A and B are shown apart, each in its own frame.
Chain A
């Protein structure tokens, strides 16, 4: 079910109305389970195609229950490895031999996010953070929640349970108004802004990819830079718009979903960027991979001279794995290496600069306006070029980089960085000076009727722009 579709619109409106039709917790649970299963089934072509994902869910539930009853460290390790192995096979990673793969088509939508949730529950059950048995219905609603199934936000089970228990919180004029506003904003981002960015990206990328291997044209750096920037904007508005929609719907059904974006393009370095982009995924990796890995390294490497550099290694490994998680082919390994290299170099830069300049002077440099915007531009440029891996395969990536050569790559990097620095600084300055106007306008639209007309104008804009395009933009992150 595409989120920019009449089917999804009718689906979630029906869900909201049915969910709120009774205050009984049993009713709400039942409606939620039905909605989750219906949403999952909408991606299936046959009954058989949902069997693997359902079997994975059942296996994970059994595994959680076994761990809850108490297992040794080695058994726990076996369970974790087995869970990852089943995931890798189901995801059809390219290194999995054909004989180990299932021979029929099946759905894997949401599988990565189910894995994140299950691994977290397994770890927390083992550590005792989750002590009570998890009821089957709650487990199913947590792992297959249609709002978060495809791409998060990733919520901890404890938070999910707390919020679900608050599901009976009465809705008010303000909460409904604000939730509907968030949903319309989300659709505007997905169906209007991301669709326009996608249009430009496809146009530019077609030119970049159509050129023969080994051929360098003077247009290539500009076309590639334009495609990379357009794709990055498409990715951001599509993904953050999707989050706005699910967070808005969540508020109408008692689910207080966590935020997943916090103005990522204002980040001054790539480490900060990952604290603002897909925040729940970054937190998950921090909690369940980076922190344990860093602890392990600190135990193994006792020489204090190396301590500052352990973070560099831990960051590289974490982001390498995060990159590989994005997809089953070789290009995602390249993506992981680039991201890993980026964050570890970033960390190394901080360590070296602090050593060279001292904390005070480094802080003074970091507070310099010009330096800050340069860093914002460099961060954007690095991310835009790294996510090229999400729209090409390995052969295409190699072809683009070979054709550009080191000089061309540097020129593109500089061009995007400079453009982003100027544009983002101008945008932030404009936003600052226009803030009083926005505040006045928003106080005006607190009037319920005015608010409805503002939302209606947004809806009509979505309908109009959608009618311009041949194809409504699909949620881009569902592919990962």
Chain B
């Protein structure tokens, strides 16, 4: 027994010593990023966190403050349609964050909101205005959406990040925190060597790509390229097939619409505000997708339940559906993005004015 304890003790000591050295060295060589202003998942690739889900999951401590904030959640069209920097200049009265995750469905969007609420105080929750970008693509069923050989069936990208460093543990009911949320930042510091290693590995990939030794997975387009793109018929057919393959099932997921309703209800119950944005997609896409009619019907049913609710607003962007305003089947061209942001800013500003007036009235009363 004494030999077992002695050698296990020595092994643990050696692990602690080596990890301590690695922590010190990596903190020195790759200091923790100093993030200014709002969070923006589109910047993830330029930070130590590298991917949007990891950036979102590990940076939540930044959202605990009681200042008035606006947080955009959704999929890639919410990330590209409402760039954090553009919105921030239009909404100066709040700190604007865009935590949209490319490829997210409603389950993952709901998880994003829950993960944010987990780290927030009651006051911080009250001062948060969520913007939820929806369209039929985010209502894909979990059984299809989160089923790839490299993941546990049903794990979203956010679940993977939750389990990756042991911050959450897997249970039959889903992820459960194993690290209290108030220690999130400490946890992020403790995994700094692992983040640095991941960062170094991804950077070396980029170097290999730059040297032409590795095939680049992503095509790098400039804003000018995107503005000049014309989506031809062949491309449209490919996009329609892609979404048919992505959704696979004959109907959109009812549980996803329930998740939307529950998310709105929970935010409202916290005293927070929600703006649901019906994201525009090109007219050709809406007209030819077999899911669009079902989406509109089920979305309207959900929104009808919140009609006239003082904390819930609805922004319809479907008027901005010109075929030439998109560089693919869902993403707006950069030249129309200011118009999208302008409409969102106007809706939110209107809400904030009403809130401020009602707050002042309440104080006077």
Taking Cβ atoms with an 8 Å cutoff, the residues of A that contact B are: 6, 13, 16-17, 20-21, 171-173, 175-177, 180, 199, 202, 206, 252, 448-449, 452-453, 455-457, 459-460, 463-464, 467-471
Contacts and interface: CB of A to CB of B under 8 A. Distances in A.
B3 A172 contact: yes
B1 A467 contact: no
Contacts of A173: 3, 6-7
A41 B166 CA distance: 24
A20 B4 contact: yes
Given A456-B11, A467-B194, A467-B198, A176 B17 contact: no
22 contacts: A6-B166, A17-B4, A21-B1, A173-B3, A176-B3, A176-B4, A177-B7, A180-B11, A202-B150, A206-B149, A448-B10, A453-B14, A456-B14, A456-B17, A456-B18, A464-B193, A464-B194, A467-B164, A467-B191, A467-B198, A470-B160, A471-B155
Given A6-B166, A171-B4, 16 more contacts: A20-B1, A180-B8, A180-B11, A199-B150, A202-B150, A448-B10, A449-B14, A452-B14, A459-B15, A460-B18, A464-B194, A467-B165, A467-B191, A469-B150, A471-B151, A471-B152
Q: Secondary structure of the B side of the interface?
A: helix
Contact of B4 (A16, A206, A460): A16
A468 B193 CA distance: 13
Contacts of A457: 18
Nearest to A184: B11
Contacts of A16: 4
A172 B160 CA distance: 42
B18 A468 contact: no
Interface string B1-27: 101111110110111011100100000
A453 B18 contact: yes
Given A456-B15, A460-B15, A470 B155 contact: yes
A21 to B, nearest CB: 6
A17 B5 contact: yes
Contacts of A20: 1, 4
A202 B149 contact: yes
B269 interface: no
Contacts of B336: none
Nearest to A177: B7
Nearest to B157: A470
B201 interface: yes
Interface string B179-221: 0000000000001011001100100000000000000000000
A469 B191 CA distance: 15
Contacts of B155: 470-471
A177 to B, nearest CB: 6
A199 B17 CA distance: 31
Contacts of A199: 150
A449 B13 CA distance: 10
Given A452-B14, A467-B194, A13 B7 contact: no
A226 to B, nearest CB: 15
Contacts of A460: 15, 18-19, 22
A471 B149 CA distance: 9
Contacts of B10: 448-449, 452
Contacts of B19: 460
Interface string B67-87: 000000000000000000000
B14 A455 contact: yes
Contacts of B191: 467
Contacts of A455: 11, 14
| Candidate in B6, B8, B19 with the most chain A CB atoms within 10 angstroms | B8
A178 to B, nearest CB: 10
A241 to B, nearest CB: 18
Given A459-B15, A460-B22, A467-B194, A452 B150 contact: no
A12 to B, nearest CB: 11
A467 B6 CA distance: 28
Contact of B150 (A17, A172, A470): A470
Contacts of B198: 467-468
A175 B3 CA distance: 9
Contacts of A471: 150-152, 155
Interface in B225-253: none
Interface string B28-43: 0000000000000000
Nearest to A469: B150
A429 B54 CA distance: 44
| Candidate in B11, B17, B152, B164 with the most chain A CB atoms within 10 angstroms | B11
A20 B193 CA distance: 35
A207 to B, nearest CB: 12
A206 B15 CA distance: 38
A459 B13 CA distance: 12
A469 B148 CA distance: 13
Nearest to B194: A467
Contacts of A202: 149-150
| Candidate in B149, B151, B198 with the most chain A CB atoms within 10 angstroms | B149
Contacts of B7: 173, 176-177, 180, 448, 452
Interface in B125-153: 149-152
A112 B284 CA distance: 57
B194 A459 contact: no
B167 to A, nearest CB: 12
A171 B197 CA distance: 38
A199 B149 CA distance: 10
A252 B18 CA distance: 25
Nearest to B22: A460
A252 B8 CA distance: 12
Contact of A464 (B3, B150, B197): B197
B3 A171 contact: yes
A468 B3 contact: no
Nearest to A16: B4
Contacts of A463: 194
A452 B14 CA distance: 6
Contacts of A449: 10, 14
A459 B11 contact: yes
B194 A452 contact: no
Nearest to B197: A464
A13 B8 contact: yes
A474 to B, nearest CB: 10
A356 to B, nearest CB: 48
A300 B5 CA distance: 61
Contacts of B5: 17
A290 to B, nearest CB: 37
A177 B4 CA distance: 9
A40 B255 CA distance: 35
A268 B156 CA distance: 46
A471 B157 CA distance: 12
Contacts of A180: 7-8, 11
A470 B8 CA distance: 29
A6 B166 CA distance: 9
B188 to A, nearest CB: 13
Nearest to B165: A467
